[in-house]
Amino acid sequence: MKDLDFPLFKTKSEVYKKFDLTDVNSRQEYFEYKAGPEIKKLREYLKDNTFIAYLMGKKSSGKGTYAKMLAEIVDKDKIAHFSIGDMIRSFDEVINNVEKRKEIEEFLKKNYRGRISLQDVMKSWDNRSTKSLLPTELILALAKKEISKLGRKAIFIDGFPRDIDQVSYSLFFRDLIDYRNDPDVFILIDVPTTVIDERVKTRVICPLCNTSRSVKLLPTKKVGYDKDSDKFYLICDNSACPGARMITKEGDEQGVSPIKERLKKDEMLIKEAYNLQGIPKVLLRNSVPVGKAKEFINDYEITPEYSYKLNTDGTIETQEKPWEILDDEGVACNSLMPPPVVVSLIKQLVNVLGI
């Protein structure tokens, strides 16, 4: 990310041992091998302590993936991923229910504090588009309500702050939601826009079960070939699905073009948070310059790129190579699989929490 220093984090092991990072069991072994002592420290810490972490990255940068994988590896009963966006979408449905709406309004009468009247807030909520942001004070009140249901856990807040005024609020978020005196930390994620663009463009979904995959980056075991379009396609292999030809979601072929302004704003917010004083930061990067890859990471930690070849006998051969892409500064980089990024997250968390 321009103007910010996200240092390279070394996950390469001195003794080479290969793991299949797409397999749950092999991934568990990988984490124990790469960060076993730190995982143990985090587990011990979470027996009596918690913390709040603010996940900040561009849209589709992997915030939820990293938080959920951390919980999977460390302790899913002690770590919660809390998405502000998911929370608001759930309330968008609730306010259309007469009884549940009354319950929310009663809660807000006691907990909402802001410059806009509660009556006007509810009107704007009814009429808002999905692109418009709700007042920060309302988001804080709703977050307080929902977070209180989670119990004593470390919480990864995803989607706050979302605007400039909320960056300052985040410094006092834990106090505003009355979340004890837990330490808090910003987790800032640097993912090249080109990576996000390719992820979106190559994403496909199953029309029957909505399973998501990528023709280029995350194929299914079954691949087909369309003679009319001269293109390969994926067939859903979800065990709970009868299997269907996966399709591109409408608009995905445009990549990041429709969300360019959102991405610029996300980057601006990351820079604001990076420069804030008084709160520790964990700096995660999703890519490593090709020239540095052999020094810092193992080969299987690089995101693989898949292509397909139609053989003369009609069978389809899947070919694999390390995914190489230009970052936002035009430097050739290898994009990383989620596990090495999470190894970096685990080790930096142990450091900033002082455990």
**Of the options 3.40.190, 2.40.160, 1.10.3470, 3.40.50, the CATH number for the domain spanning 24-78+153-352:** 3.40.50
Task: List the 281-285 sheet strands across, edge first.
Answer: 79-83, 154-158, 52-56, 184-190, 281-285
Lowest mean pLDDT among 48-57, 96-105, 195-204, 290-299: 96-105
- Looking at residue 163, what DSSP letter applies? S
Query: Residue type for 214, please?
Result: S
The proportion of the chain whose per-residue pLDDT surpasses 70, expressed as a percent, equals 92
Mean pLDDT, the chain, rounded, equals 89
* Contact (CB, 8 A) for 215 and 202: yes
Q: What is the mean pLDDT of residues 192-218?
A: 93
Q: What is the mean pLDDT of residues 296-300?
A: 97
Residue 9: the pLDDT is: 96
**CA-based nearest residue to 165, from 52, 272, 63, 56:** 272
What is the distance of C-alpha 320 from the center of its chain?
Answer: 25
**CA-based nearest residue to 339, from 75, 156, 158, 70:** 70
Task: Decide the pairing of beta strands 212-214 and 203-205.
Answer: antiparallel
Read off the tokens for 218: 């995350």
pLDDT above 80 (res 292): yes
CA 23, CA 5: separation in Å to the nearest integer? 33
Q: Under DSSP, is residue 210 helix (H, G, I), strand (E, B) or coil? A: coil
The proportion of the chain whose per-residue pLDDT surpasses 90, expressed as a percent, equals 58
The residue extents of the domains of the chain are 24-78+153-352, 83-151
- Looking at residue 61, what DSSP letter applies? S
Read off the tokens for 208: 């029957």
pLDDT tens string 167-190: 665 655 666 555 567 788 999 999
Number of helices (H), then strands (E), belonging to the chain: the values are 12, 14
Q: Which residue has the higher pLDDT, 123 or 224?
A: 224
Question: Other C-beta atoms within 10 Å of 288: how many?
Answer: 24
pLDDT tens string 25-37: 999 999 999 999 9
Give the model's confidence band at 238: pLDDT under 50 very low, under 70 low, under 90 confident, else very high: confident
Residue 143: the pLDDT is: 84
* Contact (CB, 8 A) for 293 and 339: no
CA 77, CA 299: separation in Å to the nearest integer? 32
Residue 276: the pLDDT is: 84
**CA-based nearest residue to 137, from 157, 158, 160:** 160
pTM for this predicted structure = 0.88
pLDDT tens string 114-123: 888 888 888 8
CA 101, CA 134: separation in Å to the nearest integer? 17
CA 218, CA 231: separation in Å to the nearest integer? 17
Residue 179: the pLDDT is: 56
Residue 287: the pLDDT is: 96
pLDDT above 70 (res 206): yes
Task: List, in order, residues 6 or more apart from 136 with CB less than 8 Å away.
Answer: 114, 163, 165, 166, 169
pLDDT above 60 (res 258): yes
Task: List, in order, residues 6 or more apart from 261 with CB less than 8 Å away.
Answer: none
Strand blocks (E) in 201-273 = 203-205, 212-214, 222-226, 231-235
Burial class (CB in 10 A: 0-12, 13-18, 19+), 69: buried
Q: Under DSSP, is residue 278 helix (H, G, I), strand (E, B) or coil? A: coil
pLDDT tens string 95-116: 877 888 888 888 888 888 788 8
CA 55, CA 266: separation in Å to the nearest integer? 11
